[in-house]
Amino acid sequence: MREVYSHRTYSSPIFIAVASLAVLSFLALTNYISASQWHWPTNFRITSFPPAPITDEGQQRIIKKQLRWFKDISDKEKYRDKKNDEKLKQLETSLAVARALIREASLDHNCTSSSALDDDVDSVPHGDIYRNVCAFHRSYQLMEKLFKIFVYEDGDPPLFHDGPCKSIYAMEGLFINLMEADTKFRTLNPDEAHVFFLPFSVVRILQHLFHPQIRDKAVLEHTVVDYVHIISHRYPYWNRSLGVDHFMLSCHDWGPRATWYMRLLYFNSIRVLCNANTSEHYIARKDASFPEINLMTGETEGITGGLPPLNRTILAFFAGKMHGKLRQALFQHWLTKDEDILVYETLPEGLSYYEMMKKSRYCICPSGYEVASPRIAEAIYAECVPVLISQHYVFPFSDVLNWDSFSIQVSVNEIPYLKKILLGIQEDRYLRMYQGVKQVQRHFVINDPPIRYDVFHMIIHSVWLRRLNAQITG
């Protein structure tokens, strides 16, 4: 095993026991944060967007007063030389104002308030691909205006501050790199941050420390527990919120499980995950689902586009390995059996995977070993309407996106009737979904440097939304 991890590892079970005890007694003995001081609004679910209303009258009064103040919030002078808790109070107030504005926008069916504020008319979100387009637009604008993220500098590459930028885990490294290079959301001043990013790569930890024969998963535990230990002792922010305003991101299957060893990270922090399986470590109330994107070459140029609807000669297409029980059912019914539903385990000579997607009307995206599949993003890139077959999967960005408007969901029981279902879809509905896929495409595209509304920004927006749903008092 390579010696790549530079920090002391607090690996003994005794340490972990002591740490957990310390945290528990800390929880019990202080009134720092109690249930009455912060809570998840009970009606916040992955399906509830925008964030819950402010019901507290005192808070409503503050918001009214602050609405004017909000207009020139960018005026940083107001923040200078104030005490930390004063700063936190101001951060929380600005979030409360944002919440109120988003709720207001959610009731404005013409998006008048947000459209008037956007100079970039072409990029204004529109159409039924969103759950609530006005709320999303307003929330996005407020995120651009207010949101600040602090990235802990502790830890060294390759396990920290770096990650894979190719293959199916590409998003892990890309996000870390783009986040660290970011000049819009990243702040170097932790006192003005709304959230704190823990820049470790689960893929890298496993690549460098996990021995394929010994298979000791404790390496994951040691690294993550140690990291949180370090940042919670060096800085006041973790203890202040008990991790609620901290986030990690992972595309690895074991991403969710990597946080299990640090209960506050697991239960409190925002975890941005590809493996968003609600039956397995994914907590919909506060975690966020983001797309798995398989970047073969690491290049993102020229991977989008496909034939217009009339030129799509294949009804439905799938090619992929046989793993997971959903694929078993798919193969059992459709493997090279039908001339309209083309299902392959290995693609015949001369056929190109991406070209097939570009000329298919529907692309079948079944879960494999894990719920997430890179096919969803691939289908969207190829402007092929995704046919989603999964269980317990929270689709990427589904707090904002209305997946039913640009994809088909087929249950496992319906797999035998796949052809009948797809042929039964009226042409005008297909065309609307096709247009929806084209519209939603920009939210899945990777750009370096990032551009507005792309996948990087959508991930940031997911974190922003979850931070909006927490209230922290110092």
Per CB under 6 A, 85 contacts ligand NAG: no
Q: Does 109 bind ligand NAG (CB under 6 A)?
A: yes
Q: Which regions of 147-218 does DSSP assign to beta strands (E)?
A: 149-151, 186-187, 195-197
Instruction: Select the residue interacting with ligand NAG from 239, 409, 439, 447 (CB under 6 A).
Output: 239
Identity of residue 252: H
For residue 237, the minimal CB distance to ligand NAG (Å) is 8
Site for ligand NAG in 376-395 (CB under 6 A): 392
Q: Which is nearer to ligand NAG, 112 or 189 (CB)?
A: 112
Specify the residue, 110 or 297, whose C-beta has the smaller distance to ligand NAG: 110
Rounded to a whole number of angstroms, the minimum distance from the CB of residue 109 to ligand NAG is: 5
By CB under 6 A, tell whether 110 contacts ligand NAG: yes
Choosing from 114, 141, 269, 277, the residue that interacts with ligand NAG (CB under 6 A) is 277
For position 429 contacting ligand NAG by CB under 6 A, the verdict is no
**DSSP code string of 23-62:** HHHHHHH--SS-TTT----TT--TT--SPPPP--HHHHHH
d(CA 127, CA 340): 31
181 near ligand NAG (CB under 6 A): no
Nearer to ligand NAG, 73 or 228 (CB): 228
Which range of residues in 69-77, 149-157, 365-373, 460-468 is near ligand NAG by CB under 6 A? Answer: 365-373
> Of the candidates 371, 380, 458, 463, which one interacts with ligand NAG according to CB under 6 A?
371
Which residues make Cβ contacts (< 8 Å) with residue 225, sequence separation at least 6?
10, 16, 19, 261, 262
Interhelix angle 455-468/84-107, rounded to 10 degrees, is 110
Phi and psi based region of residue 166 (left: phi greater than 0; alpha: psi -120 to 50; beta: remaining): beta
Q: Which long-range contacts (CB under 8 A, 24 or more apart) does 18-26 make?
A: 19/225, 19/229, 20/263, 23/263, 23/264, 26/239
Minimum CB distance to ligand NAG smaller for 23 or for 347: 23
Helices 218-234, 13-29: inter-axial angle, 10-degree rounding: 40
Residue of 93, 241, 300, 367 that binds ligand NAG (CB under 6 A): 367
| 232 is a site residue for ligand NAG (CB under 6 A) | yes
Size of the site for ligand NAG (CB under 6 A): 22
Chain contacts with ligand NAG (rule: CB under 6 A): 22-23, 26, 109-110, 112, 232-233, 236, 239, 277, 279-280, 307-308, 311, 324, 367, 369-371, 392
